[in-house]
Amino acid sequence: MEVSHTIINLIIFVLAIYVGYHVVWTVTPALHTPLMAVTNAVSAIIIVGAMLAASLTEGLIGQVAGTVAVALAAVNVFGGFLVTQRMLEMFKKKEPKAKPVAAAIKEEHA
């Protein structure tokens, strides 16, 4: 008995969703930034795979699906880098605010 490739791919997809859900929701808050960086790397790998799939597929549906996958993964990578940048900015030390000029002059002459 031979199992269809579609069924095998569907099983892998469902298992990936299950594992991904549990990995993301059980990670401690301190590890969210590294998790985002790894997710961006995985999305970049998905872009390469989708480009290969789109170029090697002979049917129009496969080529369109591969092209859509490349576009969606590119949006995901771009958004992931923006979110990671904002998360890293939260860890930077904030510079003290400059005093108003009038207050600085008043302190010098006091």
Give the pLDDT score at 99.
Answer: 63
The reported pTM is: 0.55
**51-55, 68-72, 92-96 — which is least confidently predicted?**
92-96
SS3 assignment, position 12: helix
Do the domain assignments include residue 98? no
The number of residues in the chain equals 110
Overall domain count for the chain: 1
- Whether 101 maps to a domain, the answer reads no
- Structural domain contains residue 84: yes
* 13, 41, 56 from 67: Cα distances, Å: 19, 19, 12
Taking the C-alpha atoms of residue 40 and residue 87, their distance in angstroms, rounded to an integer, is: 14
CB 85 within 8 A of CB 40: no
104 inside domain: no
